[in-house]
Amino acid sequence: MSEPMSTPTSAPTSASADRRASRRELGAFLRARREGSDPVALGLPRTARRRTPGLRREELATLAGISATWYASLEQGRDVQPSDDVLAAVAEALRLDPVAREHLFTLAGGRTAPAAPEVLAPEVAAVPALLGPAPSYVTGRTTDVLAWNAAAAEFFPGFLDRADGTGRVPNLACWVFLDPAAREVLVEWIDVAQSVLARVRAAAGRHRGDAAFAALERELRTGSAEADAWWPRYDIAGSGAGTKELRHPVRGRISLSHASFTVAGAPEQVLVVYSPL
């Protein structure tokens, strides 16, 4: 007597249905963003002959550097597997913000979006100057200092007031660990260095596989025995408030309090403001 046929479980069917639903949702998302875009703002000429809102499929495909047929398959919810490069190109063509970009990658298969190039909004870049005598600066996700005021350059001599000749953006972690001047300026250098490294460690965990963090890790661990020894401890910290003791070549020893504020719409950009105690 033959064995009765087993009844297939519902898991594969359910998984397949979820994939189809995700593809449909991806298509709806792309179509809505394409139709809601402004062709002129994206660099296309103004014309009165447009019969549909936003970009045409062919125009978006051209902006993204992919074929119109391939892009159409995404909007139509077909069973295709776009690469991270294709998704990043579409996100760039649509000018998606970080939240929408992450949503795009999630719909395309639950992947984490590679970090987009960091852009500081002009309105945010202007804030340190508005704070006048209060030393302040804005850091990015890898502790690059994206904007600062004259007071910050004065209170952190050798960091923000000196060009290294490479055109590189100042980086807080690199200054703390790799510039001997930091050990002179920061009275409690060990505490500050451990705190900075813990923030880098936390951010690197959010961006696993990000080449920028891999390069920063190599640079810090190669150039600093302390960073190399502390990295495996995996200390984790975020930005916050506290105090710092500084040595200033003119003012002498200074105590400063500081507070940190995340930038709305770009939560990994942080405004840090100091005030004398």
Contact (CB, 8 A) for 27 and 77 = yes
Token pair listed for 120: 């500081």
Same domain, yes or no: 51 and 185: no
Q: Domain tally for the chain?
A: 2
Same domain, yes or no: 22 and 103: yes
**CATH for 153:** 3.30.450.180
pLDDT at 3: 36
Same domain, yes or no: 134 and 183: yes
Contact (CB, 8 A) for 60 and 34 = yes
Strand partners, 138: 147, 271
Contact (CB, 8 A) for 255 and 277 = yes
Domain that holds residue 208: 122-276
pLDDT, tens digit, 9 for 90 and up, residues 181-206? 999 999 999 999 999 999 998 888 77
Contact (CB, 8 A) for 268 and 140 = yes
Same domain, yes or no: 147 and 242: yes
Same domain, yes or no: 52 and 18: yes
Average pLDDT over residues 76-100: 85
Average pLDDT, the chain: 84
113 domain-assigned:
no
pTM (2 decimals)?
Answer: 0.65
Strand partners, 118: none
* Among 100-109, 156-165, 218-227, 236-245, the least confident range: 156-165
pLDDT of 244 above 90? yes
pLDDT of 1 above 70? no
115 domain-assigned:
no
Same domain, yes or no: 171 and 101: no
257 domain-assigned:
yes
1 domain-assigned:
no
Same domain, yes or no: 98 and 152: no
